[in-house]
Structure 1
Amino acid sequence: MKSMIVGGAAVHLLLGTLHHGWEDFRTERPLYVSGTVTEVRWGNPHPEVRLRVAAPVRLPSGLARRSIPPELEELGGRDVLRRAQPFDGRDAEVVLVLAPVERLTAWGMPDEVEEGERLEAVGYVHREHADEIRPELLVRQDGRAIRQRSVPLPEGPPPAAASSGSATEPAEAGPATGSGNAGSGPLPWLVGGALLVGGATVVAVRAGRKGGNGR
């Protein structure tokens, strides 16, 4: 039973990671958003903060010249600030999907975001959920600028996202992957791998018990 729980937790964590991968967001179009926190869900795989947007959103003066963490500077964060546009979504509230708790602590943010706090963020809207934003830079009410990214941004949308577009957009189709079957995407393979790991754990536990009984 314990092994089955571990296997299920692995699948849940895997699905959460896939859903919040950078390739699932419109990284080609960085946006600036600001507002007041109305709700906080703090935990893994990603803390989520609901933000009431201060509409209309306007770019603050000198955004591109703001001080940012050196690690984000090395990953092209300065260029992202230069290209950022004000959030123009219709939603009165958006959900900010932050980096995992362990990384936030390591990057200088050991404390949780609080309801009523004012936040600024530069990030990207989810390709399927217009009210979901994954920031690469979060600015707390006390002025702390916390990076949210540790890897280079993907060069383009994933093949699955591009395939939903019209036939007049071949440039975003991306390289072909797999054998062309409908189930050849990464999700079935990754979920199947997690289930195999859980099954192998069950077999190992049972074998250990049998060995112990024979002694």
Structure 2
Amino acid sequence: MQRRSMLAALPALAGLPALAHHGWSSFDQERPIYLSGRAAKVAWRNPHAELQLELPENLALPADLAKRSLPRQTAAVDGTALLAKARVPTRRDRRWEVELAPLTRLQAWGVEEVRPGAEIAVLGFTFAGEQGEPVLRAEYLFVGDKVYGLRSSPA
């Protein structure tokens, strides 16, 4: 009897919005995007930490971005090339959803929990052609003078 009531509830559940978890393959890894701004909302939880980033009106690449030193990580990531190819988004959204890394990886890097109001920057990837929602999957996180690689663990 319990199975029958569960099956009867399925059509009602089908109308609810689904939460998606995106793998790296969903993102255009040939076009790194740079964002900086103020953390508006933060969800420090698994499957990965997330935040809403409020961008300034005139977002621009920092003059020293291509020359910044990046930490080594266990994944083969050509961070220098990513910094050299980095662009600001062409879309004009002032608020972006940023997907960071799982909490265990953030802990391995020693990343302190980002709090609402914190000024941060991220370099990462969005969907091809910047289609869909303004979502960025972070490859590097810049907090103050610290930089964290988020694809894998520290090397």
TM-score range, shorter chain: 0.7 to 0.9
Secondary structure of the 1:71 match is: coil
Secondary structure of the 2:69 match is: coil
Secondary structure of the 1:78 match is: helix
Given the alignment of the two structures, is residue 112 of structure 1 paired with residue 98 of structure 2, yes or no? no
1:68 to 64, 67, 70: 70
Q: Which sections of structure 2, spanning at least 5 residues, go unmatched?
A: 1-17
TM-score (norm 2): 0.78
Secondary structure of the 2:62 match is: coil
Q: Partner residue of 1:174?
A: none
Matched-pair contact (CA < 8 Å) for 2:75–2:152: no
1:90 to 84, 89, 92: 92
Matched-pair contact (CA < 8 Å) for 1:72–1:147: no
Secondary structure of the 2:73 match is: helix
Matched-pair contact (CA < 8 Å) for 2:36–2:121: yes
Q: Partner residue of 1:130?
A: 133
Q: Which has the higher contact order (CA 8 A, sep 6+)?
A: 2
* Structure with the higher fraction of residues in helix conformation: 1
* Structure with the higher fraction of residues in strand conformation: 2
Instruction: Decide which structure has the larger Cα Rg and report it.
Output: 1
TM-score (norm 1): 0.57
Shift of 1:72: 7.3
Q: Per the alignment, do residues 83 and 133 of structure 1 end up closer, same or farther by CA in structure 2, a change over 3 Å counting?
A: same
Q: Partner residue of 1:176?
A: none
Q: Percent identity?
A: 35
